[in-house]
């Protein structure tokens, strides 16, 4: 089963802090069964790691391209990584 898992790291730039981006991401990841974490970065961006089934991870990356209602996403950097077997989703 772990062979089907994928992992993506995203860094989301724009007006993405203070708009419930992290909590919205956590709730959506938990609904989809995606593991990982999301955190604010000191440069004003948000960074997240998603691990899970390919369609679920793809959905999370797509969510980050728009974010919650008050977010203004200007750019999303996406990096493919090897899955680490993460369990659960956390806000850092």
Catalytic member of 5, 7, 22, 26: 22
Q: Of 15, 34, 18, 16, nearest to 26 (Cα)?
A: 34
Q: Is 28 among the catalytic positions?
A: no
Catalytic member of 40, 41, 58, 74: 40
Cα distance between residue 59 and residue 1, in whole Å = 19
Are 83 and 37 in contact by the 8 Å Cβ rule? The answer is no
Q: Is 41 among the catalytic positions?
A: no
Round to the nearest angstrom and report the end-to-end CA distance of the chain: 27
Catalytically annotated residues? 22, 40
């Amino acid at each position: 089963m772990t062979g089907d898992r994928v992992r993506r790291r995203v860094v989301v730039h724009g007006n993405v802090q203070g708009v419930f981006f992290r909590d919205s991401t956590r709730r959506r990841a938990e609904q989809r069964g995606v593991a990982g974490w999301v955190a604010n970065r000191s440069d004003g961006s948000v960074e997240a790691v998603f691990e899970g089934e390919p369609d679920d991870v793809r959905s999370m990356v797509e969510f980050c391209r728009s974010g919650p209602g008050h977010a203004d996403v200007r750019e999303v950097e996406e990096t493919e990584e090897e899955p680490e077997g993460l369990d659960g989703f956390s806000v850092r």
